[in-house]
Amino acid sequence: MKAVLFRRHGGPDVLEYADVPDPAPAAGDIAVRVKACALNHLDLWIRQGIPAYRITLPHISGCDVAGIVERVGTGVTRVAPGDRVVLAPGLSCFQCEWCRRGDDNLCANYHIRDGGYAELVLARAEEALPLPDAVPFDEAAAYPLVFLTAWHMLVGRAKLQAGETVLVHAAGSGTGHAAVQIAKHLKAVVYATVGSAAKVAKARALSADEVIDYRRESFEERVKTLTGGRGVDVVFEHIGPQTWEGSLKLLAKGGRLVTCGATSGPTVPLDLRYVFSRQLTLLGSMMGTRAELEAVARLVNGRILRPVVDTVLPLREARVAQERMLGRDVFGKLVLAP
């Protein structure tokens, strides 16, 4: 089969479109014919090389996969060849204390799947979720990681309630565009930031109540004005030092800041006096549970949540796709189609 892989860490130029052996399903496994695989920033970080993710080289990236079951191993009964499926992006042991209590994203063995930049990918049968005909493969590939992450942040961690106000940073990003939709589904008031005039209308089309182009005006001043100086109940943060101080200052008393990333860097200033005097809550979040993924899948399958696909590119153009992601000229998700 054809796949895109890298044999050493580096820039997008290390990606190769090459022939690799077809995967052979063992007992309990399935081989899925990939119809679409979405890109994530994680793909870029792993390709560049980060200590938190130890991989074996050569490596095939890609955790967000939608396709058709082609072969099954012995003992597989829950799916059959020909079934349309989407694969869970995060994998747990489902045996440890965290998994047994339903917090499987805290599993000591939790890891992100790979192998999606290929014509075929191997998975455990229990990792496959059914995909109805009504959901195109590109949209199916575009939702698992980012919508799961946004759902866990807003629902699982921040406990966002109807009528509350939420500031969503980078509404044109994968997690950002998911957060806007989820927050509106929860009947919250959504203020969204974007990085260009072209993205303002697109964010409004997701039903954001107000959209702020942070390159043209201060998101801090605009949100203060919008809230009459009160601030917001929740900040959806995944940028890091570039937005951190402003985000913290915009929290209303008793507000919650939930973060899943550090795109602009890992270290931020923190005045503890401000945190305890205003009784703020800072929440870390990573991925989400299998139960949350199934909840998101039901909403996507019911066409209530709609992943936005910016562009679908051929698998062989994975390097072009990653370069576009680095350039940040994307709204929603980039998807590869073998």
CATH superfamily placement of domain 147-284: Medium-chain alcohol dehydrogenases, catalytic domain (3.90.180.10)
Fold match flag (2-143+307-337 vs 147-284): yes
Query: Do 309 and 332 touch, CB atoms closer than 8 A?
Result: yes
Q: Is the pLDDT of residue 193 over 90?
A: yes
* Rg, C-alpha atoms of the chain: 20
The token pair at 318 is 């994975």
* pLDDT value, residue 135: 98
Confidence of residue 266 (pLDDT cuts 50, 70, 90): confident
Q: Using one digit for the tens of pLDDT, what is the confidence trace for 165-177?
A: 999 999 999 999 9
Q: Using one digit for the tens of pLDDT, what is the confidence trace for 111-126?
A: 999 999 999 999 999 9
Confidence of residue 237 (pLDDT cuts 50, 70, 90): very high
Residue 309's alpha-carbon distances to 67, 142, 313, 331, in angstroms, are 16, 7, 11, 8
* pLDDT value, residue 96: 94
* pLDDT value, residue 324: 96
* pLDDT value, residue 265: 86
* pLDDT value, residue 318: 98
Tell me 138's DSSP state.
H
* pLDDT value, residue 316: 98
Interstrand relation of 84-87 and 64-72 (parallel, antiparallel or unpaired): antiparallel
Query: Do 192 and 199 touch, CB atoms closer than 8 A?
Result: no
Q: Is the pLDDT of residue 206 over 90?
A: yes
* pLDDT value, residue 53: 81
Stretch 258-277: mean pLDDT, rounded? 91
Confidence of residue 314 (pLDDT cuts 50, 70, 90): very high
Q: Is 31 left (phi over 0), alpha (psi -120 to 50) or beta?
A: beta
Confidence of residue 264 (pLDDT cuts 50, 70, 90): confident
* pLDDT value, residue 278: 95
Residue 208: strand, helix, or coil = coil
* pLDDT value, residue 328: 84
Query: Do 15 and 319 touch, CB atoms closer than 8 A?
Result: yes
Cα separation of 332 and 181, whole Å? 12
CATH superfamily placement of domain 2-143+307-337: Medium-chain alcohol dehydrogenases, catalytic domain (3.90.180.10)
| 105 Cβ contact list (under 8 Å, min separation 6) | 90, 92, 152, 286, 287, 288, 289
Query: Do 192 and 312 touch, CB atoms closer than 8 A?
Result: no
Residue 38: strand, helix, or coil = strand
* pLDDT value, residue 286: 95
* pLDDT value, residue 88: 98
Stretch 41-67: mean pLDDT, rounded? 93
| Element of type H or E holding 244 | helix 244-249
* pLDDT value, residue 263: 84
Domain ranges of the chain: 2-143+307-337, 147-284
Stretch 287-312: mean pLDDT, rounded? 97
Cα separation of 330 and 257, whole Å? 25
